[in-house]
Chain A
């Protein structure tokens, strides 16, 4: 089935650093979503993107819907300890006139540098 390639798989952050992660797909998506999951909880929606080229911010988080509709990135500025967790991208594929169900990337795990 379709897959989203999310990178990096993991990264270590130091408080105050900026963080970038991205997702790519071989096919077109109509919607890109970014979720964060804390241990023992379900994913929580951070940002939703609906149009190619759209750039949306939510506090220190900024995400963009790629022009080709096949990619998206998420930036976190001035990271803080509570940013630690797993970030997932999710896309809604377009199947020639109908919407598919969300497909998720494998996640980017953010940890604090020791």
Chain B
């Protein structure tokens, strides 16, 4: 069973640009969550999608957005990049959303974004 696949693994952007990251969940997993990981803040929840609908959203500005497609693949977009957006962006999938045990997340290897 293939794991969670994230692309690209590494990318470098400059301030003001926008970026789109992609995530393919484990086959059969319908919930996809995104986290931002930085040395200072640790893992911070961005948003969760289930059946193409955003179920929950973390405390990030509107520059951070996402979507989920009918095949459960998900993308996240960051517009007008700032230096502080440099981070490892992790995608995780789970079989269902909600309920005990639903949040046993399987993570991808992440997309490391550097903003210059």
Chain A positions within 8 Å of B, measured between CB atoms, are 1, 30-31, 33, 35, 40-45, 48, 50, 88, 90, 92, 98-107
* Interchain CB contact under 8 A, B48 and A105: no
Q: Chain B contacts of A35 at CB under 8 A?
A: 107
Q: Chain B, 65-102, contact with A by CB distance < 8 Å: what is the 0/1 string?
A: 00000000000000000000000001010000011111
A-B contact count (CB 8 A): 59
- Cα–Cα distance between A100 and B33 once the two chains are bound (Å): 12
- Interface class of chain B by DSSP: loop
Q: Which of B56, B98, B100, B106 contacts A50 (CB 8 A)?
A: B100
Listed by A's residue number, 8 A-B pairs whose Cβ atoms lie within 8 Å are: A1-B59, A30-B100, A41-B109, A42-B92, A101-B33, A102-B45, A103-B45, A104-B43
Residue from A1, A41, A101 in contact with B103 in the complex, judged by beta carbons closer than 8 Å: A101
